[in-house]
Structure 1
């Protein structure tokens, strides 16, 4: 199996590996354990990437008192499935729920928080609609939610163009883009029509799926995010509701956890979790 490449500032953290039986076959899960955790955290990664790119986030959460669990979604990273094909995002939500069960079994009774980036933000939003009673907090980073125009534009074409994500769109830190470009577990090809269709369906589902009540929600976004523009996400975040905390980063691109001001972003995340968890 190829080695993953984490972003250059990744905080070293001991990790364990699990394999569960997900909706589409073998589901690979990374765990960054804490010897005496105060809470558990789930991390849902974005399109075309994998959980190993979140070692820095996991390191900050472990230092804050969490045990962290993060799956490679079906068709991504080290999990089973045709590369980057997601036929139904409800299956991916079910997989994340399976990982939540793993976390609860390891640490019964602890609060559970969910952090989703980009496509993972769409997954996390739907998870919160379906299972909000299980969550103590929800954090969304550059979430694909609301008025995201890309699926409609692509589906209007006879053929989806072979235009991979530009590494420069991720962060102002060139080392982040370089690590992404060299990572063999990242998908560097075009989007696939079944996945684009699934995105379009799930965007509608979340829009119509109701709010999340009083659940504490943190929304993090870069105001120079050209992959998932901020105004479109705002529409979805406002519909999702919850007790919202908004943090927009001036000049930041798509991956705020890997941006040049990532220490500030991680501090915002842990401060939000302190408030949500009553600590």
Structure 2
């Protein structure tokens, strides 16, 4: 929801930039020594057909970003608003009233999404527990499945294992990975969400495990991820304890592993 709002803002900014450029080309300017010299203009002509295609693509971009499970926008009203705005007609409300109303709409959307995501998380784990190979750490809250067994040293609680990982939502959308961070990352288990630290403890070097983390052991409604998201992690342990490297990272400016310092409210770097 928040990402879609930002996408729409970017789209609107692109239109505004075009309007600004047009205004700049028609506005009077101060006379300069080169004012009477012929300007060299590069040809960037665009055909009517190209402009029509661009208009359709822009409209499609806006339309697909209006599809949210929490809000059902009135498409006809949006189209009419675009027509009225382009025609220079008076806005249906002031900018201040618009901002207040959209804030209310967004708050409603977050409330709906919070409830729906929690329901989805509960239903997913209730169904997933019946799958072959699922191990329950906490009933209804944390499950895992061993993908590839390991044979090396074991990850202990409060340690700092070095891992490869991919984090996904229920729909398979990735929100972060060690590859994006530049390779394996060292994660102090005391500085991460409870579901992750409990789920990775006991893994052996070389083991690959899939964690299923309920929002109660994840972010809940905190942080920048969608509220009450169930998190799925694919994890490979490269080194059971890399505490010395974790200490060095804390003393340096290297923030590669900040992506997985998954404490609520401290998840900068995670895509959303």
**TM-score w.r.t. length of structure 1:** 0.22
Q: Which has the larger radius of gyration?
A: 2
